[in-house]
Structure formats: structure tokens, C-alpha cells
């Protein structure tokens, strides 16, 4: 994920949060699409349905919108800090830059953080 592609917190407005009904409607629409989807489209739909299920279950806990925004901000800051620390970490290591970056991203669980960011951004827009 390109950090420039992230939605700045100040551009998200209150009351933009998704509702359970919106999530359920999208799930229903995707289930209808399954009938006509090819193999690649089916995989995309299945991944999207998994995300929507997580979002729906999370929304059923009635999260506070402001706390979601705070979590999103904290996750973005964590990724930024990890990126800044990479140079110091890699200076102690041997190997190619791409491989070191891959190792560092695995250690800092960057893909997990990005997934959480995508989910929160989806819920807040």
C-alpha cells in the first residue's frame, strides 16, 4: 500500500462510518455476483466477503467512531515510525536492500498493520 494513498485523518468527516445495513447489502450483492463470476472473480468476491464479515461483526460491537479514528491515526503513525527505523535496523544487517526490507516488514508485521488500516478506512468512509 502506498502511504500517499492513505486517507488523511483530517479529511474524514464525522458520521461517514459504515452501518451494519450497508455491509449486509454489499454482502448480498456480492453473493448474487458469485453465480456469474469466473474463477478469478470468485476469489476476489470471497476475499471481499471475508472482509465484510469482519466489518459486520466489528460493527455489531457498536464501536465509537472517534475511537476508530484514533486507532487509524495510531496505526498510520506506527507504520511511519517503523519506516523511519528501517535505516538504523538495516545498517546492522548484511544482504540486499529488497530482502532486508522484506525481512523488516515481516518483523514489524507491516502487512497486518496495513490490513487493519484498510479495514478502518473502509468502515470510516
pLDDT in tens, 59-72: 999 999 999 999 99
Say whether pLDDT at 113 is over 80.
Answer: yes
Say whether pLDDT at 78 is over 90.
Answer: yes
DSSP 7: P
- Asked if residues 119 and 18 have their Cβ atoms less than 8 Å apart, the reply is no
Number of structural domains in the chain: 1
User: Looking at residue 97, what is its pLDDT?
Assistant: 82
User: Looking at residue 3, what is its pLDDT?
Assistant: 47
Give the domain extent around 24: 3-10+17-124
Q: pTM here?
A: 0.75
Q: Which residues contact 120 (CB under 8 A, 6 or more apart)?
A: 68, 71, 72, 75
User: Looking at residue 93, what is its pLDDT?
Assistant: 84
Task: Give the least confident one: 10-19, 28-37, 42-51, 102-111.
Answer: 10-19
User: Looking at residue 86, what is its pLDDT?
Assistant: 93
Amino acid at each position: 500500500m502506498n502511504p500517499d494513498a492513505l486517507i488523511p485523518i483530517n479529511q474524514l468527516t464525522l458520521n461517514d462510518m459504515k452501518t451494519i445495513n450497508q455491509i449486509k447489502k454489499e454482502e448480498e450483492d456480492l453473493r448474487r455476483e458469485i453465480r456469474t463470476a469466473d474463477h478469478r472473480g470468485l476469489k476476489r468476491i470471497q476475499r471481499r466477503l471475508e472482509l465484510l464479515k469482519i466489518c459486520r461483526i466489528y460493527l455489531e460491537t457498536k464501536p465509537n467512531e472517534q475511537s476508530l479514528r484514533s486507532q487509524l491515526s495510531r496505526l498510520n503513525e506506527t507504520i511511519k515510525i517503523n519506516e523511519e527505523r528501517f535505516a538504523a535496523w538495516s545498517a546492522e544487517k548484511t544482504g540486499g536492500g529488497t530482502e532486508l526490507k522484506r525481512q523488516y516488514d515481516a518483523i514489524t508485521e507491516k502487512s497486518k498493520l496495513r490490513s487493519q488500516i484498510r479495514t478502518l478506512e473502509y468502515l470510516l468512509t
